[in-house]
Amino acid sequence: MYSKAIKHLKTNDPILHEIALSIEPFELSIHPDPFIRLIRSIIGQQLSVKAAATIFARFEDLFPNKEIEPNYILKIPDEKLRSVGLSRQKISYLKDLSQKVIEKEVELENLQELESEVIIEQLLKIKGIGRWTAEMFLMFSLGRPDIFSNGDLGLQNAIRNIYKLSNKPTIEEMEKISNKWSPYRTYASMILWRSLNNEPK
C-alpha cells in the first residue's frame, strides 16, 4: 500500500511527495494483542521510550509466564504495582481498562470490523485514554491507513516546517492540508514524523 500512498501524494501534494522520497519505504502493521498495546500506551504516557520500556518489563514480570491478563491485573495489590514504577493514577487506568474488558464494555476482539470513529468512541470510555492515544492506537496497533491526529505536536511542527507557515497551523489549516492525503493520511503522518525523526510509539 505504501507505493499507492506515494503515488497519491505525487498527484495531490508534490511538497510532501518530495519529502517522502528521502524517507525509507515502510508498511503499516497490525499488532496481534490490542490489550497489550493499550497497556503499553497507558504505561508510556509522559515517559521517555526507555523509561516506559523499563517499567513495562518490570510490570510484565509480575505475571506467570509474562502473560498479562485483565483478571490478574485486578488481583494485584496496588502497592505491588507501585513497586514496579507505576503511579497511582496509571494503576487506576490499568484496572479500569481491565474491568471494562472483562465486562465487555470495551470489546477488543472485533475491533478490525469496526469503523475508526466507533473504535475511538469505545476507547474513550477507558480512563486515561484520550483521543490522541486512540488515534495512535488506530495507526500503530490496527494499521489503519487513513488516520490523522490534529492534536499531535510533532505533526503540527512538521506541517509548519514543510509548508513554511509563519505560525503553528490551526485545526482548519491542518484539516485542509491533510484532506489532500486521504485515504492515506496515516502514511502521510508517518512521513511527517520521520522528517522530524520523531515517530511516536
d(CA 135, CA 143): 11
d(CA 30, CA 144): 9
DSSP 21: T
**3-state SS assignment for residue 86:** coil
Query: What pLDDT does residue 112 have?
Result: 84
- Report whether pLDDT(170) > 60: yes
Phi/psi at 198 (5° precision): -145, 50
Question: Given pLDDT bands bounded at 50, 70 and 90, which one contains residue 131?
Answer: very high
- Report whether pLDDT(200) > 70: no
- Report whether pLDDT(87) > 70: yes
Asked if residues 119 and 126 have their Cβ atoms less than 8 Å apart, the reply is no
Query: What pLDDT does residue 17 have?
Result: 95
* CA Rg value for the chain: 18
Query: What pLDDT does residue 95 have?
Result: 97
Which one, of 200, 189, 194, lies nearest residue 40 by Cα? 200
Asked if residues 75 and 104 have their Cβ atoms less than 8 Å apart, the reply is no
- Report whether pLDDT(192) > 70: yes
Catalytic machinery residues: 152
